[in-house]
Amino acid sequence: MALLKVSGLAKSFGGVKAVSDLSFAVAPNQIKAIIGPNGAGKTTVFNLLCGVFAADAGTVEFAGRNISSLAPYVRARLGVGRTFQNTLLFDEMSVEENVMAATEAGLRLNAFAYLFRWPAVARAERQRREIAAEALKLVGLQDKARDPAGNLPAGERRLLEIARALGTRPEIVLLDEPAAGLNNAETDRLKHAIRAIRDRSITVLLVEHDMGLVMEICDEIVVLDQGAKIAEGPPLLIQEDDRVIEAYLGRPADNA
Residue ranges in contact with ligand ATP by CB under 6 A: 13, 16, 18, 36, 38-44
Residue 72 CB, nearest approach to ligand ATP (Å): 15
Strand, helix or coil for residue 150: helix
Residue 102 CB, nearest approach to Mg ion (Å): 22
Q: Which residue is nearest to Mg ion (CB)?
A: 43
Determine if 43 is a binding residue for Mg ion (CB under 5 A): yes
Query: What is the strand order of the sheet 65-66 is part of?
Result: 16-26, 4-13, 57-62, 65-66
Q: Are strands 65-66 and 220-225 parallel, antiparallel or unpaired?
A: unpaired
CA pair distance 139, 162, nearest whole angstrom? 8
Q: Where are the alpha helices (DSSP H) in the chain?
A: 42-50, 72-78, 95-102, 111-116, 118-138, 154-166, 184-199, 211-217, 235-239, 242-249, 252-255
Nearer to ligand ATP, 37 or 233 (CB): 37
The secondary structure of 73-93 as a DSSP string is HHHHHHTEEE--SS----TTS
- What residue 18 binds from Mg ion, ligand ATP, none (CB within 5 to 8 A, per partner kind)? ligand ATP
Residue 53 CB, nearest approach to Mg ion (Å): 13
Residue 19 CB, nearest approach to Mg ion (Å): 12
The secondary structure of 104-139 as a DSSP string is -TTTT--HHHHHH-HHHHHHHHHHHHHHHHHHHHHT
Nearer to ligand ATP, 16 or 154 (CB): 16
Determine if 142 is a binding residue for Mg ion (CB under 5 A): no
Nearer to Mg ion, 80 or 136 (CB): 80
Residue 205 CB, nearest approach to ligand ATP (Å): 13
Determine if 226 is a binding residue for Mg ion (CB under 5 A): no
- What residue 148 binds from Mg ion, ligand ATP, none (CB within 5 to 8 A, per partner kind)? none
Site residue total, Mg ion (CB under 5 A): 1
